[in-house]
Amino acid sequence: MLTLLKQARSALALLNPEEVRSRSSRLVTIGLVASSDHAYARLEEFLVTGGGPREFVFRAGIEGAPERVDLVICEAGIEPPPGAFALDPVEAGDTLAAVARHRDDIALALARRHPVFRRAVVDRAIQAVACENALFAIATALPDVVPNLIELPWVLGEWASDTAFLTANQLRLAFFIAAASGKPVGFGQQKLEILSIGASAFGWRALARELAGKIPFGGGLIPKGAIAYAGTYLVGKALERLHAGDGPLGRRQRKEIYRQGIEQGKAVASSVLR
């Protein structure tokens, strides 16, 4: 618990847009394994959809292909070797999600250079950061449920540490989504996004505190975690839409996304508490 508090106090200082830029600018090579020229062509066309670079996609055994590649993708129906992924361009959703989940080392660069990976990678990042915020919100509320000798110091420091951590994580998510979308990354480059995140942080935090205080016997932990999740989830989805060029979310869309976030957040909080 003390470790989490120390992490929260330094969270804003640890934000590093340069690291995000560096990870997103990495060159990623993709190797293909298929049974025919037609199958190779289908995989290639899928991977370069939306402007992905063809020069870093190599067929197995072709002259000039590198000895090692960062990602191996096989035609559906071919058993992929360990660490590789089978992909059907017609039903690619599960494969793209699996790459985002298991290849965190290259996921950001893949999303930036190959738009077909973008949605899966951004969705994964939104859910991961929303979970982190839900867990932290629950952790910082535990002394309110189990009072002890250090309750007073916790109460005095809870607002600053909790809000700082949740907001810093949302800013980190903003940098990630911008980089994945091929947009400029940084405090100066994302002023409006950062101001919006900072302004909304106190609203989510105040609502979470109010609910946690009104429900006895620790029941407030679930809504507190759910609200931290939902607020972060909504921020992520709004940023994803913004960078996709679809404009801001409408009121009805915001309500629906927030409702979805609350349901997912409840499930996360309930699982942790069990």
Reported as a single tens digit per residue, the pLDDT across 160-174 is 456 777 888 888 899
More confident residue, 274 or 86: 86
Q: What average pLDDT does range 23-28 have in this prediction?
A: 92
Is residue 235's pLDDT more than 80? yes
Average pLDDT over residues 72-91: 94
H-type alpha helices, 146-250:
151-180, 191-214, 221-243
Give the per-residue pLDDT at 155: 43
Q: Amino acid identity, residue 88?
A: D
- The pTM of this model reads 0.82
244-270 pLDDT per residue, tens: 887 777 888 888 888 899 999 999 888
pLDDT of residue 243: 87
Share of residues in the chain with pLDDT > 70 (%): 78
Average pLDDT of the chain to the nearest whole number: 82
109 has pLDDT over 60: yes
Q: Give tens-digit pLDDT for 117-162.
A: 999 999 999 999 999 888 888 877 766 555 543 443 444 344 445 6
| Residues above pLDDT 90, as percent of the chain | 44
pLDDT confidence of 199, banded at 50, 70, 90?
Answer: low
pLDDT value for 186: 83
pLDDT value at residue 7: 53
Distance CA 143, CA 137 (A): 12
* Phi (first) and psi of residue 103, to 5 degrees: -120, 60
Beta bridge mates, 59 = 32
pLDDT for residue 164: 73
Judge whether 74 and 35 are in contact, CB under 8 Å.
no
